[in-house]
Structure 1
């Protein structure tokens, strides 16, 4: 099977508009070959000329499987390195190729050999491509290879990319920097590497206006929070919704098995001086939000630190309102413990009839779910 790398339509238009200037950069045309990559212009990487599109399935397979031997075979010293590869994402969307005819297909994403190897943790292949001159900050699909490595929590790839000059402050098409994509427990060393290479600890996302501390608090990452605080992360920074990182942690829905780590995050933030009275744009306080998620440990923490048990939000709801509303779908979180804590700290007993529902949920838990409200 022959492999071809045709010019993209955008490149063709540029060549037509500015043929004389581009002729200075192009020393030879790409051509068909026996599973090999044809020579690339020496000035292509730094010019306005767009890299070519790779449609050879054998080359793509070598990259996606991390086959170093085959990658070395295809990407010789004279081969094109900064190729565009169109891959399918996991998201479906409606598209119309002909007038009036719509179809549901997987969204196409533009990627490169560098992005593919970085996102899959193929360090040896990644190093080989970088040594062959791959553009480390190239972002044809809106993200750099460093974004991909951080999202995959591939510490070795992050370290390697940074050593080759990857920009730790690169902004993706969606307005995220690499630090904002470190959302898993395994990404803690990626965060460390980024901060050591000059990433701003208080950088914000463009749309939500989240700081990195907002992001990791929302994902219940205690070690990340601790590390960011050591680097001077702002405790009281507010995002687009008016939430502080403490608000964000309290507001994030989580499963019963994750309640303890969200408690640890909130405890760390509070002990570091986070304001337990900070309200978002809806005047939801951390206590309101923790009650919505029926996390009794966080509720106890906030109450013990002086949270106002009867303060209302814009809707006129107190923390007790919120837990009573959440009881029906938070049975596994033991909402009765939250109600008990609120009453112990002087919650006003409004909606007295609703307390029967909470007591019923407690009985349901005690009898193995045999009773129903």
Structure 2
């Protein structure tokens, strides 16, 4: 399945393929049922609803499809009739819940309704991302706000939880340069010095790799520790070597401990010092083979 559906919107991010059934949707009998579906206004939560068992070959339920197509009224009816029902947490073949899809399609109203109806914000997709991870990766302030306001019970664990690439929410917001999200996450208790699991970079290391002086300044103002070492033994200041941005170098020089300003003599691995293409957060993987 390609990242561009034949029907519907162009995907803003190829890896966030949320339309897993659209190629064959117009021919699928499920679509006719979905489009003609009506539900009563009163609560049938405990009663059998046949649409809860309907699923496409890609694992999408009618609720998934309603969210994908932004059929808000259909989605709201199904959510209302499924309060605290396992149906709300069903995952498609990409392990996306309705909550994931509501964030991807930027529908904060549905995000709120899903959470209040009992959708589990801790569930992860096939990349290990919760709905909050996706909001941070995509820079969705609206969905971020709804999730954090409605998930107080699990917020600490979700914020610190790493995805399968070793990145938590703060790392994703930093990699993608979303200053407001970085500030909000730290205010909510995110560990500003947490190390991503691939190479031990903190958000400050990532900001230097991005050559983003505004993000560097923001993290310093928020209390980032400039003397943290990544797994290669490098501070954020070490990562300014060989890079052009003098503003970043100056910001870090005075704050970095004098004994940590020089590159470690025993280290000659240039993989930590080279500029990286950060279009995908998965590129933060320093594992090298054949050396």
Q: Which residue number in structure 2 is paired with residue 118 of structure 1?
A: 67
Alignment of 1:58-97 (within 5 A): 71=34, 73-74=36-37, 79-86=50-57
Report whether the alignment pairs 1:128 with 2:77: yes
Report whether the alignment pairs 1:312 with 2:282: no
Name the TM-score, length of structure 2 as normaliser.
Answer: 0.67
Task: Report the alpha carbon displacement of residue 59 of structure 1 after superposing the two structures with TM.
Answer: 5.4
Task: Report the alpha carbon displacement of residue 313 of structure 1 after superposing the two structures with TM.
Answer: 7.4
C-alpha distance in 1 between matches for 2:70 and 2:253:
45
RMSD (Å) for aligned C-alpha atoms? 3.3
Contact 1:203 1:212 (C-alpha < 8 Å) held by counterparts: yes
Alignment of 1:1-373 (within 5 A): 57=27, 71=34, 73-74=36-37, 79-86=50-57, 109-133=58-82, 135-141=87-93, 142-183=95-136, 186-198=139-151, 199-201=154-156, 202-240=159-197, 241-252=199-210, 262-291=212-241, 294-306=244-256, 308-312=260-264, 315-316=267-268, 322=273
For residue 183 of structure 1, give the secondary structure of its aligned residue in structure 2: helix
Q: How many residues align?
A: 233
Cα deviations by residue, 1:105-147 (Å, 9 ceiling, x for unpaired) = xxxx432222233345443231122234382111132121112
C-alpha distance in 2 between matches for 1:310 and 1:269:
22
For residue 174 of structure 2, give the secondary structure of its aligned residue in structure 1: helix
Higher alpha-carbon deviation: 191-200 or 290-299: 290-299
**Greater relative contact order structure (CA < 8 Å, 6+ sep):** 2
Structure 2: gaps (5+ residues)? 1-23, 41-48, 278-291
Task: Report the alpha carbon displacement of residue 169 of structure 1 after superposing the two structures with TM.
Answer: 1.7
Cα 1:296–1:111 change in 2 (3 A) is farther
Which protein is richer in strand relative to its size?
1
C-alpha distance in 2 between matches for 1:224 and 1:295:
24
Q: Which aligned runs of 4 or more in structure 1 are off by greater than 6 angstroms?
A: none
Cα 1:151–1:266 change in 2 (3 A) is farther
Name the TM-score, length of structure 1 as normaliser.
Answer: 0.54
Task: Report the alpha carbon displacement of residue 75 of structure 1 after superposing the two structures with TM.
Answer: 5.0
Cα deviations by residue, 1:34-70 (Å, 9 ceiling, x for unpaired) = xxxxxxxxxxxxxxxxxxxx977265657xxxxxxx8
Structure 1: gaps (5+ residues)? 1-53, 63-69, 87-108, 253-258, 330-373
Contact 1:143 1:172 (C-alpha < 8 Å) held by counterparts: yes
Contact 2:133 2:172 (C-alpha < 8 Å) held by counterparts: yes
Task: Select the structure of larger CA radius of gyration.
Answer: 1
